[in-house]
Structure 1
Amino acid sequence: PATIGGARRMLNVFDVPLPGGGVAGFAIDIEDLEQARAATKRFADAQREMLDRLSAGVAQFGSDRALVFCNQPFQRLFAMKPEWIADRPEFDRVLERMREAGRLPEVRDFPGWKAERREWFLAADHRIEEPWHLPGGDHLRVVAQPLPDGGLLLIFEDRTEQVQLATARDTLLRVRTATFDTLFEALGVFAADGRLQLWNNRFRQTLGLDETFLAGHPRVDVLAQAAAARLAAPGKAVLISEMVRSATLDRQQRGGSLAFADGRHFDFAAVPLPDGNALFTMLDVSDSRRMEQALRDRNEALEAADRVKNAFVANMSYELRTPLTSISGFAEMLQGGYGGELPPTAIDYVKAILESVERLGTLVDDVLDLTQHGERGAVVELSAVAQAAADKVMPLAKAQKLDFAVEIDPSLGQIGGDAARLTQVVENLLRHAIAGTQERGRVLLHGDGTAEAARIVVSDNGRGMTAKAIARAFDGFATPAATRGSDRALGLGLPLAKQFVEAHGGTVTLMSERGQGTVITVTLPRTGAPPSA
């Protein structure tokens, strides 16, 4: 270094011995050269520091094919120790070290493969790129760039995660496509701009569209216009575009139904997707529509048949009253002596005729009640209803010498209903209990209630019922015939009671065991004056 003209300069000084014994000296100013060298060194250091921060591995070989630089990612990627790198290994040795670490592709002719890679040094300023599939499943992207000084720059990018993600994405796409094509629903996915992006075969077949037409990703309004001819009402095709716009722009789910010209019916819906697209679905509901119509027609037929049946039963019931009235009238006249004095045997016969007429009249009334519905709306005092029913069956209980007890709690209270029907309910339950109890048995009528409901319980210690009889107890016209003279001929008491209780919004439960008696519980809600049954 020297100071010349007040400026610091770097000189290259030469001393040359002379033949005469003297020394000649000269100096060359190399300040600019030194500054250029320093700048180049700083640039190289900065570049290497930057390369150390990259995620990709970088290795640089000189013109002598020796390793002159590699960054930290390269050392980690190929498991190379700094002390081994410090010896500046030659290109071939580096490849062999990579192979020992299992970081090279498996090849059959490694020497030939290595010779091909040595040719990278001689490439005429042409960048070379190739993928390496390593034995462990890793994927590397290798870029080789020949340098002007005869060296070579290698860049190793680990693409394992990207390849795995791409593979997973391709798998998901294939699964999605396969799933779409196997679904029973017709599916189409529309982008935010209204263009069709994805569809399945069912979508194409349902709307009768050509694959080439769909491959052009038509807008929803164009697609709806093309599909209009297949609809029973072509004007309703506009619903498709309206639904898709609602899902993509307003982000609202909407649905509806479409009828096709061939008689099929479809339910459709447009559903907004998280990515801003819209899913349009169509489900063929033709079978369910036909089934609904068939059920509706059958229901109407059953209602018509029920009306005919009720009319027939009511007519027959009224028709039966005429001969019963005549039989009853003539029997009463005979009993009153209008036909002359009757012998004792004839008197017993007339009495039996009148009893049978009464029972048959009651039966006709029960059959008529099964086909008619009364209205209820008055406030009914249940204690009076229970007592009135008990008074009606008291003669039957006395005739069988039964212990007939009536327990009415004041909490039984009132409900809104039909007093005559409720009286008939309790009477029928009591008649059922009396008919199933042996002489000197016990029958109990109990009534109580809460703020929500009233409860009436009729129990006996009679013969009880079999499981089969219990199952058929409330089935009108299916209950076994009675075996006692005091019972109804066709056993309509319980079916009628159940019908009247349910008409008041209540429930009836029956518990019985053979030889242990029977308990029937009626629960009636306190709902004021409900509508007609």
Structure 2
Amino acid sequence: MRGQGPQDSGISGHDKRARTADRPDYAGSRRVRLRIAAGAGLACYLSSTILARAQDIPKAGFDAFGDTAFGASEVIQIATFAGVMGAAMVSAIWLIRERGRIAAENLVLRERIAELNAAVQRAEAMLTTKDQRTVVWSGERHKPDLVGTLSAAPGVPDERSSFLAFGRWLTARSAAMLDNAIAALRETGTSFDLVVEAQSGTLLEVLGRKSTSHAIVRFLSLTRRQTEHAALKADHAALAVDHEAVLALVASLDMPFWLRSETGRLRTVNAAYAAAVDCDTPDAAIAQGKELLATQARENIARQHLTEPALHRNLPAVVDGDRRLYSVTSVCANGVAAGLAVDKSDIEALRAEYERTVKSHAETLDQLSTAVAIYDADQKLRFFNQAFQKLWELDSAFLEARPDNTMFLDRLRSDGKLAEQPEWRRWKENLLSAYRAVEPQEHWWHIPDGRTIRVVASAHPQGGVTWVFENMTERFDLESRYNAAVRVQGETLDNLAEGVAVFGPDGRVRLFNPAFIALWRLDGAEIGTNTHIAKIRDACERNCPQSPWTDFVAAVTGFDDERLETHGKTELVDGTILSYAMIPLPNGQVMTTFVDVTDGVNFERALQDKNEALQKADQLKNDFVQHVSYELRSPLTNIIGFTELLMMPDTGPLNERQRDYVDHIASSSSVLLTIVNDILDLATVDAGIMQLEIGEVQVTRIVGEAAELIGEKLREHQIAIAVDTKEAPPSLHADENRLRQILFNLLSNAANYAPERSTIALTCRMTGDQVEFRVHDDGPGMPPEILDAAFERFEPHANGGRRRGAGLGLSIVKSFVELHGGSVEIDTGEARGTTVTCRFPVAPKGVRAAAE
């Protein structure tokens, strides 16, 4: 086999030796070796025989020869020589004869090999003459061999690995089918004949066969007729699968299904049909010819199928002794009829029950005094009761004609029973929107005769609306009189900020206002009219352990001859302080009033606490400045110094990792020292001890120095900086170090948010008597919630930035600018970047020593 070496033959060593032994050349050489060995053995035998005979000759016998007699050793040598020469002559004769025979056999073998090579070449030519490709497996662990090509089949790869990966060029269904067939062929020797489809639409015939030691799979291109036959075969297979799926679906339905032949006999039924006709299995129902429908019904269906291929009928049938109503769907095509029956008996029973229920409800509604009208989905009047007719005084003929809702409203308007609306059409459309609403709608109609009608519209799930008209005139009259009486009494109390509660001689509440409940943190369910004062005391003492309610209870329920007013203050558990007064009223009643004086008391306490806090804060601030100055900055300075010392060549060489670690220590220490210096600067500003060294500062030089300080960070992120000082003054009066720090912080903040490969603009110009420094970046901008806290300290906001800092940059900028008597402004927004503007006076008249 081509492409298969000796190591892939799959034959054991024992078998190799056995087959080698069967070759003629090997057999001949073996016979030669055997004959040589036989000659050597014969020589040894002769020599040993002569030696033995020599030993048996008496010594006297040798003496008889006189001086020429041979000794025993000479005889032995002569015998050995003779034996060896004899064996050599025999072996030579045998060798000459065997070489002649082997030469003849080798000639025959060469002719046989030539014939076999010619046969192999003919077989390969036959395999490649037809457009086909063969895959051969010679063992479980051996790679398959490929012979031939499929060049005439588009979409079939030629490369070996791509061709053997069937899932890459075959459809998913064909690839799975072929993989399963090949696995069965190699494992169990099951042959197969398949038609597979490539993803390009090409059809191939695949044959699989198994020999004793080889599994062979052949791919053949199909002719036009074969392709059509294969396509028909594939379509048939697909139809067979669909047919099986449909039959499985029909078998699982709980509705009777049947299929009739051209003669009208049952051919296929499902289990539901068999159960309906009282048969154990579908086959039994077919064999017995059990019919679900009556004969007349079947004949009618057969006649109607002559003109109508599809029918839908409601037909009765007897199942389990009960008469059931089925919705039958029958379809006829080419003389074959299929039917499906859906049991609608329960639905019809529910419909009848629904109609009875509706009739019962109608009789009930007709006895109500509330007017009710029911409209269907088409807005037609379907039901109305006597109260409805009496309310609107409409004639029966009009209502029994089932007018729609729009006509009903127009009739009421024309009869003057509805108030005129400014926009009648819009009002009516709003009213009729109840047909599309989910929740009930409520309307109030004030009709011209002075009546007030409450109208409730409830939409039905099936469509339509139930309208309920309730005459609320008498109720409103009663409520109006009652409210007028109560309003005079309660209006004053309800609008008081003081809590008021009036108790009767029996200790029960007669009157209270919302402020009373709010001040004592009571629940609305805990207090009401006629609530006893003891219950109120228990509720109030939860919020005020040392409450005066014990004295209130004694004063209200006691029988003292003289009742005096009582005043005082009490404090609730939440810190609220109430000033109370208990005032006796005529007829044994007592009024208690409560005023919240928490603000006044707390204001006094707050002033005292704030004064103490300010003193402590001032002391803490001074201590903090001293602590940071020595405890933090001094060790950081030492760290930075020793780091620089380690990086010097004189200290000693460092390996690459140590140099990286020292660089990280130096950079981190510098960042930490910057933060400590920023905190120290802010603390110094807040403490009011920072002094500015005002001098003349060259604007161009200070801008260039700030841009140079930030240059390394900008180059790291490929950010450019554009400096514009064309409109800037030559100089201004400011603290040069603080101004440089301000510009550096602004540029650092812009570099943190600017996109890579963008440009930061630094502009300086003269505006009136002020010098304006403006820094702009094209970053994401600040949302309003971040912009409000932009100048807050320790409020870092990433917002798309590359890193989160300590949140001190803009705080320091604002503090130092205000120290110079200037101002800071931020203009930002989404998709337009951020612009920070700092304005300095050119020559400040009086510079503050510290920020306010």
TM above 0.5, yes or no, is no
Q: Which has the higher contact order (CA 8 A, sep 6+)?
A: 1
TM-score normalised according to structure 2 size: 0.27
Which of these two proteins has the greater Rg computed from alpha carbons? 2
By percentage of residues, which structure has more helix?
2
